[in-house]
Structure 1
Amino acid sequence: MWPKPTKRLKLGFVGGGRGALVGEWHAMGARMSNRWEIVAGALSSKPDIAAESAKDWMLERSYDDFAVMAAAEAAHPDGIDAVAICTPNHTHFTIAKAFLENGIGVICDKPMVTTMDEARELVSLVQQSGVFFGVTYTYSFHSMVRQMKAMVAKGMIGKVRQAHVEYVQDWASGASDPATKQAAWRRDPALAGRASVTGDIGTHAFHLIHFVTGEPVNEVSARFHICGGAERMEDTAFMQLKMGADIPATLWCTQAAPGNACGLRLRVYGESGGLEWNQEHPEIVHHTRVGEPTQILMRGHGKGMLPEAEHMIRLPRGHAEGVSDAWCSLYTEMAIALEAHRAGERANVMVPDVVDGARGVFFVDASADSAEADGAWQKCWFEG
């Protein structure tokens, strides 16, 4: 079980103002966890929107500039314990660096940054400063993903022999609306970096497959495609992966598959059985032992749930939990990890850290290298 909270930590936000859905998800998770009080923010780069959003969120302190916020909160007698960064990817590095240099913990959206140089600098800065850093790979906080991870670790499907992950959406099936800012920066190489869909949702798939299997993703062979509107960057990627001791795997991500909303699906097969999970039906894991009928494991207490997953469950079966609960669990474990970090201890939680963030960036970079080399195999695992 998680330790009981003794106080609420102070949380600030950069980004997340009006119209920014990801920021709302972060805030919802923090509030639901009962471990954070959101007190300060630079919620937009536009001063009027920042001020209006601060009123909407009922913040104690509002800033027009993240650098000013970092310095002011560090000097404040009751300043924030951590900042949530909910801005476009190309801004993450400078924002994270400003808060780290002021001794303030960072909770950063993924991908952590857009270049390996930036990733290495953040890893070095975190390791030298000792400041807390977490990355929001939210899907690893679903209770049934933790169930899968525990089942694999306990050998319940035997040695892993293959794994497959896909993340399939459809919002880029047609031409992008130039008025939609989120679509615009995701397809602009000056802002998105070397890859679009691979950085945006492929990083989630990459993290999930190695999180559940416990195996490093050592090499990638990737091919990038434009299957939707006439865009400058890939909206679809097909990849072969080599994991662990030559475990074959595949990764497919696309935002141009009509009829798909948020189809993140993971399948792991071992010598004695297999497991399947679909984010659109997050309360179910299919478990098949070789030669036996498939079992359907449902989120809830008892009936096959392992302790590694059961402690994350809030509601009995029949009362649905979903991504909002995953965000709640994320911010619960971020708070526990931050408090333990400050005490010089290691919490029994599974919070992705700055090295996990760097691994996602390295994966994107290696995938782009491979795609440019007509699918040539590339090393893609960052050791840290």
Structure 2
Amino acid sequence: MTERLLPESFNFDGPFPKLSRRLRLGVVGGGRISATQATAARLSDLWEVAAGALSSDATRSKARGAEWFLPQERCYTSFEEMALAEAARPDGVDAVMITTPNHLHFAAAQAFLEAGIGVLCDKPLTNDVGEAEALVSMAAQTGQVFGVGYVMSCFPMIRQAREIVTAGQIGKINQIHVEFLQDWMTPQEVADAPHVKWRLDPKVSGPTSCVGDIGTHAAHLASFVSGLEMTHLRAEFHVCGAPKPLEDTAFMFTRYVDEVPGTLMATRLAPGNRGGLRLRIYGSEGGVEWDLEKAEQLKLNIYGQPDQVLSRGHGHGLSAHTERFVRAGRGFPEGIIEAWANLYTELAMAVASRRDGVAVPDEWLAFPKVSEGADGVRFIAASVRSNEASGSWTPIP
């Protein structure tokens, strides 16, 4: 008899249900972001890290695996080996995180989808539109759960903002502004650092650096909250600091469905900005504003009324759907680790639902899907074309 993960019955409008066991998570890539995500997955109390391909060097893979408390036999030297071996185990992983450099995302995701294992892939999904669209097709054909690491969409107050906009509280959207300003590339010598070199190598990072890394976060967040697809853009890429083979800054005019105008800025050379992701959406009745460095709060302005500041926490006017992502009361801060945990919580619900054959409502799980990852790759490709055409208006297919 196949084990059942979800309860026989539960309320889709209530808190997420408990599973009958923790799901088993595999790790592909042994860098800093993999450790962050593993911490978050454990925080959700729905995952345990069970296997990993943490290095292509056998000795280093086992050494890194020991640091993760993994059994030696489940420390692999390639994702191909890991996919085949884990698929053959009765206790094999239920899903994997892919946190390798960009150029390996496609092959790694393909290997696990074909092995019947769910995937959560870092962004950008791939460096090529055709590969991204191929992964969308593979996910549909295999029926596997496939999420993408647009973690900014998993902050509770972003979910609340999305509900406010969807409910029409700010009226008809008339403009969207989003920016992601960081400062870690300000030093002249930063491009020589080992962990930075691959981000500036077109063979690894793809045709962009700043846009593919943080610009896609900004673009996804704007569409996620507004519910509007970006249709066109005008982009200019710049190298504002020390010479680099790829851009460190990008400025864009954007256009969404129904000709809604907007702006998008991304840079890594804005001293004083570390997590400077800011979203502003304005409509005919009001607007919402959110700042990553003040992620606990959401500003809601209804024209002609006093400004409101909604706070993350129980019992402060948040919806029941938003409160599912709240772990601590108001005044006790939550942050990026908890946002990642929210993503892994929804991923777990999706994996469990698929395994149990449970049909879930479309609005129950809003974690970023593979189709949104493909949208991000199309956004990158359009921005590259626009920049090469001296900043001309360029459609996003």
Equivalent residue for 1:250, pick from 260, 263, 276: 263
Alignment of 1:219-258 (within 5 A): 219-258=232-271
Contact 1:15 1:85 in 2 (8 A): yes
Matched, 1:360 2:371: no
Task: Count residues with an aligned counterpart.
Answer: 378
Offset of 1:147 from its aligned partner? 0.8
Cα displacement (A) at 1:298: 0.9
Cα distance, 1:220 vs structure 2:
1.0
User: Does residue 156 of structure 1 match 2:172?
Assistant: no
On the 8 A contact 1:175/1:231 being kept in 2, the answer is no
Quote the offset at 1:48 in angstroms: 2.8
User: Contact between 2:250 and 2:265, CA under 8 Å: does it hold in 1?
Assistant: yes
Counterpart secondary structure, 2:180? strand
1:98-143 Cα deviation digits (max 9, x unpaired): 1111111111011111101211211121122212211111011100
Structure 2 residue 285 is matched with structure 1 residue 272 = yes
SS in 2 for 1:37: strand
Match of 1:128 in 2: 141
Deviates more, 1:123-132 or 1:273-282: 123-132
What is the alpha-carbon root mean square deviation over aligned residues?
1.3
Q: Which residue number in structure 1 is paired with residue 115 of structure 2?
A: 102
Rounded to whole Å, the distance in 2 between the matches of 1:176 and 1:198 is: 21
**Paired residues of 2:37 and 2:337 also in contact (CA < 8 A):** no
Shift of 1:344: 5.2
Q: Kindly report structure 1 stretches of 4+ aligned residues shifted beyond 4 Å.
A: none
1:196 corresponds to 2:176: no
Which residue type is aligned with residue 371 of structure 1?
N
Q: Distance in 2 between matches of 1:273 and 1:49?
A: 55
Aligned to 2:387: 371
Matches within 5 A, 1:14-25: 14-16=28-30, 20-25=31-36
TM-score by length of 1: 0.96
Counterpart CA distance in 1 for 2:230 and 2:282 is 16
Checking the alignment, whether the CA contact within 8 Å between 2:236 and 2:387 is kept in structure 1 is yes
CA distance in 1, matches of 2:192, 2:174: 46
Higher alpha-carbon deviation: 85-94 or 169-178: 169-178
Give 1:339's aligned residue: 352
Aligned to 2:43: 32
- Partners of 1:217 and 1:380 within 8 A in 2: yes
Following superposition, the deviation at residue 308 of structure 1 comes to: 2.6
1:26-80 CA-partner distances (Å, limit 9, x unpaired):
1011100111111100112233322111101111311111111111111112111
Structure 1 residues 329-374: Cα deviation after superposition (integer angstroms, max 9, x where no partner): 1110000011112315236111211111100001000000000001
Q: How big is the shift at 1:176? A: 4.3
Distance in 2 of aligned mates of 1:266 and 1:308: 21
Counterpart CA distance in 2 for 1:117 and 1:90 is 13
1:12 aligns with 2:26: yes
Contact 2:180 2:215 in 1 (8 A): yes
Tell me the alpha carbon deviations over residues 156-179 of structure 1, each in whole angstroms, 9 at most, x when there is no partner.
111111110000101112334455
Find the residue that maps to 1:245 and give its secondary structure: helix
- Corresponding residue of 1:49: 60
Q: What CA distance in whole angstroms lies between the structure 1 residues aligned with 2:273 and 2:217?
A: 17
User: Hey, what's the Cα distance between the residues in 2 that align with 1:78 and 1:35?
Assistant: 16
Q: Distance in 1 between matches of 2:366 and 2:95?
A: 18
1:319 matched to 2:335: no
Correspondences of 1:134-173 after superposition (within 5 Å): 134-173=147-186
3-state secondary structure, aligned to 1:309: helix
Q: In structure 2, what is the Cα distance between the partners aligned to 1:141 and 1:318?
A: 19
**How many Å apart are 1:261 and its aligned residue?**
0.7
Unaligned 5+ runs, structure 2: 1-14
Q: Shift of residue 239 of structure 1?
A: 0.7
* 2:303 maps to 1:290: yes
Q: Which runs of 5+ in 1 are unaligned?
A: none
